[in-house]
Amino acid sequence: MRLSYRIVLLACAGVFALAMAASANSLVNPGFETGDLSGWFVFGNAAVEDDLPAEPGHYVPYEGLWLAKLWGGFWCEDCFNVSGIFQEFETCEGDEWIFSCNSRNSGWEPIAGGNWMVQKIAFFDAGGEIAGVESVILDASSPIDTWFINDPIVGVAPAGAIKMQALILFLQPSLDGGAGQVDAACLMYMGGGASATESTAWGQIKALYQ
């Protein structure tokens, strides 16, 4: 009986740790406080900036000392191009993920014309992207020098998914200028899929009483 009680305590501690992990930010360097984009995959044009006294108001992080900015590639007129940063994680069918970031349209280099930015969750099988959800976080109509705390997007991994990506993208359909700023990104794994079955730690705890 004493041994069973100790097993229950240990199992409960394991479930508590899993719950804490599920609610933690899964991203590495989510606020870019390393002063670079370490932890992120980068394509196109992206960089980090801090609030320099010599350039007051140009780069004002939402929190901390650093932010990331993204801008277009200026390939050619009517040449659609995308810049982005992302992180990826293993996943399986039924897993639920929540992603958000804060965004700012700087008056120093405001987004122009048809450019816009999105936050996105994408799911992949061995052949490529199979599903995704996204929301617009900035465009040319966004008020300048204001941080927007964007609503989170929620993605549930479909059948066949083996990995997911949390992306921040700058989309440039032609040669319009400007850049978008982002900070305080957050990705949370909310469980589901295999983790919600009776074979998990919680199911094992229940089995002790049956």
Domains plus CATH for the chain? 29-196 (2.60.120.260)
Indicate whether 13 pLDDT > 60. Answer: no
Mean pLDDT of 112-127: 98
Q: Look at 1 and 12; give whichever has higher pLDDT.
A: 1
One DSSP character per residue, 27-84 reads -SSTT-TTSS-TTSEEESEEEEEE--TTSTTTS--SSSSEEEEEE----STT--EEEE
- Residue 150 pLDDT class (50, 70, 90 cuts): very high
For tokens 């399986």, name the residue. Answer: 92
Per-residue confidence (pLDDT) for residue 23, from 0 to 100: 65
pLDDT at residue 202, rounded to an integer: 38
What are 36-78's pLDDT values in tens digits? 999 999 999 999 999 876 677 789 999 999 999 999 999 889 9
Average pLDDT over residues 24-46: 98
Element containing residue 134 per DSSP (H, E): strand 128-139
Task: Give me the mean pLDDT over the 203-207 stretch.
Answer: 39
